[in-house]
Amino acid sequence: MDLGYKLRQDFPIFKNGICYLDSGASSQKPQSVIDKQNYYTEEVYANVHRATYTIAQKITDAYEESRKKIADFINADPKEVIFTKSATEAINLVAHSFGSIIPDGSEIILSEMEHHANIVPWQLLKNRKDISLKIIPVLDNGELDYDEYEKLLTDKTALVAITHISNVLGTIVDIDRIVSSAKKHNAKVLVDGSQAIMHQKVDVKKLGIDFYTFTGHKLYAPTGVGVLWGKSDILNSIPPFLGGGDMIDTVSFEKTTFAEIPIKFEAGTPPIVPAICLGEAIDYISNIGLDKINEYEKYLYKYAFDEITKIKGVRVIGTVENKAPILSFIVEGIHSYDISELMNNENVCVRVGHHCAEPLMKRFNMLSTIRVSLALYNTIDDIDLFINSLKKSLRILG
Ligand SMILES: *Cc1c(COP(=O)(O)O)cnc(C)c1O
């Protein structure tokens, strides 16, 4: 179990000696991704889908090649893979475009453990349209309340929009169960995979869902690129989100017709270099193997969990078995911000705050937690550093 020691050598940032435990907010980038970024900036750079000269063709090919890699990675058809700027934009796209065709009186089901990115777009839709939002509660251990979910479904449910893995609790949602109940009511299912795609194999066909979204920068790629996968029949039947260059077939002031999917949803100049780098990041993790990554991260998590629960006063939030390597906790009587400040003095990078999930914080009656989120480059040494630094902070503050 020394995978992380080997892999962290691929990440130049670790030369600075940080103990990075905030990959759930954004992950570090391997050298191969950085090299790709430099190559398509320094040597081969032009806009895509427009000009016919050599470098324009080369970068267009690389951009489309990356789309294919992403499609293979999630077992989808490349034309169903849309590049967006982020997961946030991908969900907003669905809320706008799919949201525009659902009938008045429709219901959309979310959960109490959603990231704000999967709450606010639906509230904005509700401001424009006569729809209602229903919320699946979360149990004390961080599990979704599936019995309550089943009660919320009706024949008016147009969509269930749910996270695959909670960015705070690490809970893995049983998507099979979500889908099988939703389909009995002909409801569509959107899964926010921002916290899942880097930890476990995702097969959108097998899941039987309608939309899947994720963000590049948590998957070892640069910021500025996200992905929306959608079933082609739905993508073909909903209007575009943004209008502009590239996404059209012909334009006149009388009538404009749109390009075929996926370009119909990629108005304007896309995030060209980040999108190419996302393909490279997928190559990087595919070469290691997601099963191996998953097994290693579980081993790290278990060690961290066992060690932290030995510390008096620590309360872990989200304690279901078999979860993602995300550890949220509070320490009774001590401010999370004070702890993280002291840990920062020792180069231990943890996240403190509401984690863009205020309704979930409210559910657990807290304003913030400290969150440790692990990635393939973390090691047992990182966790020992973290635990020692936490103990030391508590001695100072307690
Ligand atoms: C990070 C995150 C998002 C948003 O990703 P952006 O890159 O900020 O758009 C959405 N949902 C979850 C669960 C996340 O963790």
**pLDDT digit string, tens, across residues 75-128:** 999 999 999 999 999 999 999 999 999 999 999 999 999 999 999 999 999 999
CA 113–ligand 1 middle distance (angstroms): 13
Which residues, other chains included, contact 205 with Cβ-Cβ below 8 Å and sequence gap of 6+?
75, 76
> Domain 3-26+289-397 adopts which CATH fold?
Aspartate Aminotransferase, domain 1 (3.90.1150)
CA distances for 192 relative to 151, 226, 260, angstroms: 22, 11, 24
Local confidence band at 268 (pLDDT 50, 70, 90 cut-offs): very high
Catalytic-labelled residue, pool 19, 277, 349, 356: 356
Chain centroid to Cα 86, Å, comes to 9
- Any idea where the domains of the chain sit in the sequence? 3-26+289-397, 33-286
Local confidence band at 229 (pLDDT 50, 70, 90 cut-offs): very high
Decide: residue 103, CB within 10 A, 0-12 exposed, 13-18 middle, 19+ buried: exposed
CA 392–ligand 1 middle distance (angstroms): 32
Local confidence band at 212 (pLDDT 50, 70, 90 cut-offs): very high
State which of 88, 190, 225 you would mutate to test the pocket of ligand 1, scoring each by most atoms of that ligand within 8 A of its C-beta: 88
Local confidence band at 338 (pLDDT 50, 70, 90 cut-offs): very high
Decide: residue 52, CB within 10 A, 0-12 exposed, 13-18 middle, 19+ buried: exposed
* pLDDT exceeds cutoff 90 at 50: no
- Cα separation of 136 and 114, whole Å? 10
State which of 172, 194, 214 you would mutate to test the pocket of ligand 1, scoring each by most atoms of that ligand within 8 A of its C-beta: 194
- Ligand 1 pocket residues where CB is under 6 Å: 86-88, 115, 117-118, 163, 167, 192, 194-195, 215, 217-218, 226
φ, ψ of residue 374 to 5 degrees: the values are -100, 155
> By the 8 A CB rule, do 172 and 322 touch?
yes
Q: What does the buried/exposed string (b/e) look like for 270-283 if buried means 16 or more CB atoms within 10 Å of the residue's CB?
A: bbbbbbbbbbbbbb
Mean pLDDT throughout 145-169? 98
CA 117–ligand 1 middle distance (angstroms): 6
Local confidence band at 336 (pLDDT 50, 70, 90 cut-offs): very high
- Cα separation of 277 and 34, whole Å? 8
- Cα separation of 185 and 109, whole Å? 12
Q: 33-286 is classed in which CATH architecture? A: 3-Layer(aba) Sandwich (3.40)
How many other CB atoms are there within 10 angstroms of residue 252's CB atom? 7
How much is the pLDDT for 341?
95
Percentage of the chain beyond pLDDT 90 is: 99
pLDDT in tens, 230-244: 999 999 999 999 999
Decide: residue 289, CB within 10 A, 0-12 exposed, 13-18 middle, 19+ buried: exposed
Pick the atom of ligand 1 nearest to 215's CA. Answer: 7
Instruction: Give counts: helices (H), strands (E), the chain.
Output: 14, 15
Of residues 159 and 1, the one with the higher pLDDT is: 159
189 sits in which H/E element: strand 188-192
Which residues, other chains included, contact 390 with Cβ-Cβ below 8 Å and sequence gap of 6+?
308, 311, 339, 343
Which residues, other chains included, contact 305 with Cβ-Cβ below 8 Å and sequence gap of 6+?
316, 327
Q: What is the DSSP string of 269-321?
A: S--HHHHHHHHHHHHHHHHH-HHHHHHHHHHHHHHHHHHHTTSTTEEEE---S
pLDDT in tens, 27-46: 999 999 999 999 999 999 99
How much is the pLDDT for 1?
81
State which of 195, 199, 217, 323 you would mutate to test the pocket of ligand 1, scoring each by most atoms of that ligand within 8 A of its C-beta: 195
φ, ψ of residue 137 to 5 degrees: the values are -75, 165
CA 251–ligand 1 middle distance (angstroms): 34
**Tokens describing residue 315:** 């309360």
* pLDDT exceeds cutoff 90 at 65: yes
pLDDT in tens, 290-324: 999 999 999 999 999 999 999 999 999 999 999 99
Specify whether 277 is catalytic.
no
